[in-house]
Amino acid sequence: MQRSRNETLVITLGNPLMGEDAIGYKLFEMLKGKIKVKHLADIFRFSTAYEGEENVIFIDAVYSKKIPAGKIIYLKNEEIFSLLKDKCKDAHFLGVGEAIKILKETMKEFPKRIHFIGISCKNFEFGEMSEEVKEAFKKVVEIVVK
């Protein structure tokens, strides 16, 4: 099968069992069949999921005490590394920004353009998504499908 290098690949992240962290998986379920999308519970699996696409959009739940639930954050290319600064306590708490940077440095081939869409979430325990996060979910579906 010939790889189409100008395609966009959407990578959703998160644990489908953990409250609002499941938003990535729920987006995957909504988007599959409409666009090229893959869900990863572990961002480092990206190295095997990537098939040479020039554009990759990572979508994940983010947590910040300063950002209200349901806020959508969009970063692209180097902004991901300069603005998505995670404080890593150990390898079990490595943030998405740090992980993407490691992938960029270690993968033989890496996308020309990367985008990050984060949805601010507060509930990372078992449970449902808040109304604010559900609204953000709908907006992200619209953004990505366009």
Q: pLDDT tens, 101-134?
A: 999 999 999 999 999 999 988 767 777 777 888 8
SS3 of 35, please? strand
Cα separation, 121 vs 136, whole angstroms: 10
List the chain domain ranges: 8-145
Pairing between β-strand 72-76 and β-strand 113-120 as defined by DSSP bridges: antiparallel
Instruction: Report whether CATH 3.40.50.620 matches the domain 8-145.
Output: no
E strands, the chain, where? Answer: 8-13, 37-40, 55-62, 72-76, 113-120
Where helices occur in 32-72 by DSSP H, the ranges are 46-49
Span 64-84, mean pLDDT?
82
Cα separation, 57 vs 61, whole angstroms: 13
Q: Which two tokens stand for residue 60?
A: 């994940």
Q: What is the phi/psi pair of residue 56, to 5°?
A: -130, 135
Entry pTM: 0.85
pLDDT value of position 39: 95
Stretch among 2-6, 29-33, 72-76, 85-89 having the lowest mean pLDDT: 2-6
